[in-house]
Structure 1
Amino acid sequence: MRGSNVLKRLYLLCSFLFVTSLWADELESILSENKSLLFDYQFQSNELQSDILSKSWINPVTVRYGKDYTTRFKTGTIDTGNFSVYIDQPIFRSGGIYYAIKYSGALRNANRADITLQRRQMIGDAVSILFQLKKIRLEQQKMRYQVKNDLIDIQQKRDSYEAGLLDSSFLDQAILKKSQDETALLEMKLNEMELKQRFSLLSDKAPEKLRLPKLKLIDKQSYTRENLELKRDSMRALEMDYKEKVTWAKYLPTVSLNAQYNNGDLNPLFPSPNLNEAYYNYGFSVSMPLDVNAFSDIELSKVEKLRAATEVLDRKDTISEEYDWIRNSLGILDRKIALARKDEKIYGNLYKVTKNLVQAGEKTSLDADVMKNSLQIRKIDQRIYSIDKQIQLLKLYIRVENVL
């Protein structure tokens, strides 16, 4: 039994990966060229900044060439040239060099995860708009059926009112209901225009030509393991851990190697056989700063480390709650679909009965049209709820890595 559960999990995960990987081929480039370029530049900038930071412990080599002229002597103008190379390089910082390199790597990975998350969120926004466009078109279709029923209701109430069988207030309510539904239909059209405008800000593609994905629910363990927000926060925690060690090392002894190469002209008026034009100076130094803010600086780095570690724990709780909430909302939507499907069967049977009654002369064709329109409305409701499920699943997708 346990083995079957494991196989079921693997099947769901593989299905999710397969479906979304197919979707990736089509929607990976959904963002406009400028938006994609901006993310590419962010990735490149992060890599270059991290490379610079990882080598920041290496001091620059100073190369200098100079030429001096003097008219001090009566013999005329005398010029002397000098070329020098100077190095002052720390070779031991009580572990600070090692942890500085580790710190730059953790910072690189944290920023990379954050940029990837931003990109996924933007893609998710664009795909969410595509789902909303499809949903609002279905809602407009549904509302048109409702307006048809409103017109039938007005006609039936007008006939009853003219026959003296119904009070005028019922006819007024029917007319008002039709006006409200038509207004709602116009609002939907306006919302559709707004969604298209929002999509154009993210993508330069035609929304009607893009195929929507069919997302499935990934299991909680895989969602947690691949969650980009958790990976980013974990890298931030590791980054703060290395930063604390770098801060400690900053106030411990440092051993530096210094060397200088000089090649300069000797003053021709003061020749000396004991001097060389080219020579070396080299040595080493041991230093340790005595800073009144050292303790506070170290304590601050420790607090930042603890805060980052706590944020990881908090993120895990948030991820768990988000996943449970989405899974529960999917359950509610499934129940809505089941109810709409049940109503569809009821209206289907009523429509058949009403058509038979129309043929028997006991009902009018308008009664049959009402049942037919209501049947179509409940069919559309099922499709709308299915889109709502995809929008909920999309919230999981944009936070998950390796499922693009």
Structure 2
Amino acid sequence: MRLHEYQAKSVFADAGIPTPDATLASSVDEVVEAAEDIGYPVAVKAQVHVGGRGKAGGIKLAESRDEAEQVADEILGMDLKGYHVDRVLVEEAVDFVNELYVGVTMDRGEGKPVAMVSTKGGVDIESVAEETPDAIAREHIDPAFGMHPYQARKVVYDAGVPRELARDVASVLQTMYQLWDDRDASEVEINPLMVTDDDEIIAADAVMNIDDDALFRQQELAEMEEETFEDDLERKASEYGFDYVRLSGNVGIIGNGAGLVMTTLDLVDYYGGEPANFLDIGGGAKAERVANALDMVFSDENVDAVVFNIFGGITRGDEVAKGINSALEQFDEIPKPVVVRLAGTNAEEGREILNDELVTVEETLEDAVQRTVEYSEEEAQ
């Protein structure tokens, strides 16, 4: 479960982490009223579950009433990377001289939580990790003992945080770890943690994701889930009962089983493509369920091609083939190229049933993924 920025900041503020004055608004009038109460300049920030909001036009500054009206009108109601914006956070603008990154997540390779600090805040931390990994200091934590104060100080100093800021940043990091542990979080992050000219620090952004399986222990946070607004695709996935995660690429992926879908995602990346989603239709999928999955992926405007990866165990290949044919025959023209790989139970029968005028059939997963990536590149041109 992902918290919105305003929800995560509320949790952070209650724990003692400094956050800017802010008000949630859902209309132009509410934005102006909030801005007048807070005092200009203010930042108006779209509240949707997507990164890169600023670059996409979802975060703008307003220095007057007229500007507040203008930016509110521009952001409210906009489509931001497929998400409809119906709420914004009106927030005190922070005059800063530096930006830091602090976060806590699980390092599955080490089997331990890891605290991370970087002086390269305010940018995509994944890009920093890939291009300049040494710019991120890391400290693994033994969950049996929690984060010791010396560990917080060590990772802060290793990151190169100036001495005059180190104590405050270490204190914020310890609080974040405690939240991560107490609230059953999978990730907590502040990017950026802004530094003012008088050496104060303030959380200008907030990320907090909660383990769904632990929500029964986190009733306060579970109630916040009712306040979150998913996009139409996620809402549709919930109605269909699919495990679905929207990603940023253009290769649609459908499979039966989480491991199979993850393998397909990895292969798409390996062959130079970018996955658009994780969609697991589950075992025993009948024709109607398969048709629903295709309807979902076709509804994503970012998708340029679709790979369907089915390994028959409980799920029969001939049933899947009927579902694919049924879904595609509803269209006068197939909206996006579809590549199908069937293996396992009744796979041969399924391949015979598939209408090869509507889909491309490949026998191996590698061939199917490569063909789909090629189609996606051609469609994107």
The two structures share one fold, judged by TM-score above 0.5: no
TM-score, normalised via structure 1 length: 0.18
Larger Rg: 1
| Higher RCO by CA contacts (8 Å cutoff, separation 6 or greater) | 1
TM-score, normalised via structure 2 length: 0.18
**Greater strand share, structure number:** 2
